[in-house]
Structure 1
């Protein structure tokens, strides 16, 4: 059901682990949204989160009151061994709009889109990281760069846990997906045999939207501590004849590196001075939208909830103007198909047992230079 345009959308959050970021976002989004409850599996932790936010606690969809407008499904889907897709389907059948956290199997996405159409509500798969501010800045710059120059290549890296949102970021960076194709990664058995050490990254070559793409994926997982030990989240470089635009990390900065080009004088020598050499005054690399470095604590309390707010805002706009079907559904389906293809090519992540590494601060790296 849709709420009146002037009123808040009463929202329930399903899941209280990663769902904690959604709880923060919904509470901060008042009066556009009203946090109306937590739906979880009955654990003491999830009950405590509901009490912390002062909202009702539910353990089943049929317990929800009839005035719920939106649900945030932050529960693992079947591809990750969870009931997220079934939960999303049950909520859609109750005519409740659904924002589901990635990843999801293409079959699950297609079924949820069908249910949403049948019941006249909105289903949106949230790639999450595409909505955080540094990524949004990178995507805005990529749009401007595409308008001025042709894309020559895209190079990206990530850990396997966040491959799904990386593919969404790539599609947004290139302005679309089709046609797309990837090849199997080359074997690393010889490298392993020569060194005896695990090879963290697997390489995939492909084509997306007519642009050559190289992906480097850390296909490793610590089954005891799966949320840690990734070497990075996302890094993306978009190359053109004019230079490269780089998202150094999911949380920034965004860098512009113009391509080195030196004209020649009449004698054929490199022209380093005088008229026509103005481009040599360009900085070798510039930070776009420079701002103070942000801590991980700031990321968890500000950046990530703000990203959820943007995804919710997108959902709200679609709900209130009646756009139950849109290109977002096709994009979610395409990303899920691409993700399934790549995870199949990569195979199961290599299981590792990692240990905590002590924190290393910038001052530790510059101590020797300061002496």
Structure 2
């Protein structure tokens, strides 16, 4: 149902697992959106969530009132053993716009896109992490860089759980994904990362994927989520981690004098005064608690605003839909090439307070003997 311009868009959240971050986002009372319900199977936990947020709990799409504008589908799709794609299509058939959390099989995504067109509503796939504040800063810097110098290479590392969003981040950073070619990954067992190499939109890409999963705890045990570097003639732009910082490292270069030696002093060496690395944006990094309570809910609102702009006629959905289809196809192609993941069952990782350990070691080194 199209929303009236004078009121907030009325939103329901489907799923209370990762959907809790969507609920937290809507609890921020952003004036553009109003949480009006939760759709779940009816567990005690879901009922508690509904009571906490002061909204009804629905256990069937047919129970939803006619004035719901947007449904956030945060339920695993068939590619992960769930029914999220079918749920999204049922909501679209009710005339409700859908924002669906990734990942979907390409066929599932295509079916959802067709359903949205058939019922005259909009469907957006949310790869989530491109909306996280430090990633948005990285992508903004990549666009600014590319406006002056074209990207020459990408070096990326990720966990297989976030491979889909990594493909989306790379595509946004270099300005597209097609055409692409990929070399078959080298066989590897017993090592954390598998390497694949390819070319995306004319840019060479080296990608390492931690292709391991704990069947009993699939959301944990990633060594990292995303780390992406994109290089140009003038330097390397790096997203050091999903949650920052974003780094700019100018390319080191010193002219040679008439005798073939590097000139590092005097006139003409002003470029050597530039910092070897600069942090772009805040220098304070969020705690993981702040990631869960602030950064991730803000990312949800950013994704919802993208859909709201389309609903309100302020943006065109066609480019977003094509990007979703292309990214999903690339993700599926890479994942298929990687083959089955290695099964791991590690214990809970032990925290390591390295900054404190290093500070203690440095103090000990300064103590007189």
* TM > 0.5 fold call: yes
1:288-338 residue CA offsets vs partner (Å, 9 max, x unmatched)? 113312100000000000000000011111101176742000110011101
Answering whether residue 33 of structure 2 is matched by residue 23 of structure 1, we say no
Contact 1:204–1:214 (Cα < 8 Å) also in 2: yes
Which whole-Å CA distance do the structure 2 matches of 1:61 and 1:312 have between them? 20
- Cα displacement (A) at 1:349: 1.1
Contact 2:243–2:285 (Cα < 8 Å) also in 1: no
- Cα displacement (A) at 1:29: 4.1
Which whole-Å CA distance do the structure 2 matches of 1:145 and 1:31 have between them? 34
Which residue is 1:234 aligned to?
Answer: 226
Which whole-Å CA distance do the structure 2 matches of 1:366 and 1:231 have between them? 24
Distance 1:271 1:322, change over 3 A: closer
- Cα displacement (A) at 1:268: 2.7
Mapping of residues 307-322 of structure 1, within 5 Å: 307-321=299-313
Which whole-Å CA distance do the structure 1 matches of 2:268 and 2:315 have between them? 53
For 2:249, what is the secondary structure of its paired residue?
strand
Ranges of 4+ aligned residues in structure 1 off by more than 4 Å: none
Moved more, 164-173 or 282-291: 282-291
Which whole-Å CA distance do the structure 1 matches of 2:242 and 2:291 have between them? 11
- Cα displacement (A) at 1:242: 1.1
Contact 1:247–1:254 (Cα < 8 Å) also in 2: yes
Contact 1:121–1:324 (Cα < 8 Å) also in 2: no
- Cα displacement (A) at 1:345: 0.5
User: What do you get for the CA RMSD once the two structures are aligned?
Assistant: 1.2
Which whole-Å CA distance do the structure 2 matches of 1:272 and 1:216 have between them? 36
Contact 1:120–1:324 (Cα < 8 Å) also in 2: no
Which whole-Å CA distance do the structure 2 matches of 1:349 and 1:71 have between them? 32
Unmatched tracts of structure 2, length 5 or more? 365-369
Which residue is 2:156 aligned to?
Answer: 156
Which residue is 2:100 aligned to?
Answer: 100
Which whole-Å CA distance do the structure 1 matches of 2:356 and 2:187 have between them? 39
**212, 236, 240: which one aligns with 1:244:** 236
For 1:255, what is the secondary structure of its paired residue?
strand
Which residue is 1:7 aligned to?
Answer: 7
Which whole-Å CA distance do the structure 2 matches of 1:52 and 1:364 have between them? 41
Which whole-Å CA distance do the structure 1 matches of 2:18 and 2:188 have between them? 34
Which whole-Å CA distance do the structure 2 matches of 1:30 and 1:276 have between them? 53
Which whole-Å CA distance do the structure 2 matches of 1:107 and 1:29 have between them? 35
Mapping of residues 55-94 of structure 1, within 5 Å: 55-94=55-94
Which whole-Å CA distance do the structure 1 matches of 2:152 and 2:50 have between them? 49
Distance 1:89 1:25, change over 3 A: same
**320, 326, 332: which one aligns with 2:324:** 332
1:76-98 residue CA offsets vs partner (Å, 9 max, x unmatched)? 00000000000000000000000
**351, 360, 365: which one aligns with 1:367:** 360
Mapping of residues 103-252 of structure 1, within 5 Å: 103-188=103-188, 198-252=190-244
Which whole-Å CA distance do the structure 1 matches of 2:207 and 2:196 have between them? 5
- Cα displacement (A) at 1:187: 1.5
**282, 294, 307: which one aligns with 1:302:** 294
Which whole-Å CA distance do the structure 2 matches of 1:47 and 1:104 have between them? 27
Q: How many residues align?
A: 363
Contact 1:110–1:333 (Cα < 8 Å) also in 2: yes
For 1:326, what is the secondary structure of its paired residue?
helix
Which whole-Å CA distance do the structure 2 matches of 1:50 and 1:370 have between them? 52
